[in-house]
Amino acid sequence: MSHNVLDLSALELREAVASGELTAGEAVEAYLDAIERREPHLRAYNEVLADEARAQADQVDAQRRDGLPMGPLAGVPVALKDNLCTPFGHTTCSSKMLADFRAPYTATAVAKLRQAGAVILGKTNLDEFAMGSSTENSGFAPTCNPWDPKRVPGGSSGGSAAAVAARTCAAALGSDTGGSIRQPAAFCGVVGLKPTYGRVSRFGLVAYGSSLDQIGPLGRDVADAALLADVISGYDPKDSTSIDRPVGDFLAGLDRPVHNLRVGWPGEFFSDALDGEIRSAIEKARDLYKELGATIVDVSLPHSRIDTDAAGNLSSYAVACYYIVAMAEASSNLARYDGVHYGHRTDRPCDDILDLYSRSRAEGLGEEVKRRIMLGTYTLSAGYYDAYYHKALKVRRLIKNDFDRAFEQCDVLLCPTTPTTAFALGEKTADPLTMYLADIYTISVNLAGLPGLSLPAGVSAAGLPIGMQLIGPVFREDLLLRAGRMFEKASGISRLAPPMVQ
Per-residue pLDDT of the chain (502 residues; tens, 9 = 90+): 445 899 999 999 999 999 999 999 999 999 999 999 999 999 999 999 999 999 999 999 999 999 999 999 999 999 999 999 999 999 999 999 999 999 999 999 999 999 999 999 999 999 999 999 999 999 999 999 999 999 999 999 999 999 999 999 999 999 999 999 999 999 999 999 999 999 999 999 999 999 999 999 999 999 999 999 999 999 999 999 999 999 989 999 999 999 999 999 999 999 888 999 999 999 999 999 999 999 999 999 999 887 766 666 666 889 999 999 999 999 999 999 999 988 999 999 999 999 999 999 999 999 999 999 999 999 999 889 999 999 999 999 999 999 999 999 999 999 999 999 999 999 999 888 889 888 999 999 999 999 999 999 999 999 999 999 999 999 999 999 999 999 999 999 999 999 989 7
CATH classification at residue 64 = 3.90.1300.10
Looking at residue 315, what is its pLDDT?
Answer: 65
Query: What are the angstrom distances between the C-alpha of 51 and each of 3, 63, 321?
Result: 22, 19, 45
**Strands of the 191-194 sheet, one edge to the other:** 45-48, 119-124, 77-81, 171-175, 215-219, 191-194, 452-459, 465-471, 412-416, 262-266, 295-299
Which residues does 108 contact at the CB level (< 8 Å), separation at least 6? 201, 203, 204, 236, 238, 239
Residue 47 within any structural domain of the chain:
yes
Residue 354 within any structural domain of the chain:
no
Let me know if 156 is a catalytic residue: yes
Given 3-state DSSP classes, what are the helix, strand and coil percentages for the chain, each rounded to the nearest 5?
40, 15, 45
What does the alpha-carbon distance between residue 301 and residue 5 come to, in Å, rounded to a whole number? 44
81, 112, 123, 428: the active-site residue = 81
Residue 408 within any structural domain of the chain:
no
Residue 170 within any structural domain of the chain:
yes
Other Cβ atoms less than 10 A from the Cβ of 338: the count is 18
Q: Which residues does residue 244 pair with via DSSP β-bridges, in sequence order?
A: none
Residue 472 within any structural domain of the chain:
yes
Nearest to 339 by CA among 353, 357, 355, 354: 357
Query: What are the angstrom distances between the C-alpha of 346 and each of 138, 159, 353, 356, 362?
Result: 20, 29, 12, 7, 9
CB 261 within 8 A of CB 372: no
Let me know if 180 is a catalytic residue: yes
Looking at residue 309, what is its pLDDT?
Answer: 65
Nearest to 171 by CA among 156, 151, 192, 153: 192
Other Cβ atoms less than 10 A from the Cβ of 348: the count is 9
Residue 87 within any structural domain of the chain:
yes
Nearest to 327 by CA among 370, 399, 375: 375
Nearest to 203 by CA among 301, 85, 314: 85
Residue 26 within any structural domain of the chain:
yes
Tally of domains within the chain: 1
Give me the domain span that covers residue 59: 2-259+453-501
95, 175, 180, 454: the active-site residue = 180
SS3 447: helix
Query: What are the angstrom distances between the C-alpha of 78 and each of 107, 118, 151?
Result: 15, 6, 24
Peptide bond into 175 cis (omega under 30): no
Residue 422 within any structural domain of the chain:
no
133, 156, 201, 331: the active-site residue = 156
What is the pTM for the complete model shown? Answer: 0.97
What does the alpha-carbon distance between residue 186 and residue 468 come to, in Å, rounded to a whole number? 7
Alpha helices for 292-410 (secondary structure H): 317-333, 353-364, 367-380, 391-406
* E strand segments, 70-214: 77-81, 119-124, 171-175, 191-194
For helices 10-19 and 24-42, the axis angle rounded to 10 degrees is 150
CB 452 within 8 A of CB 445: yes
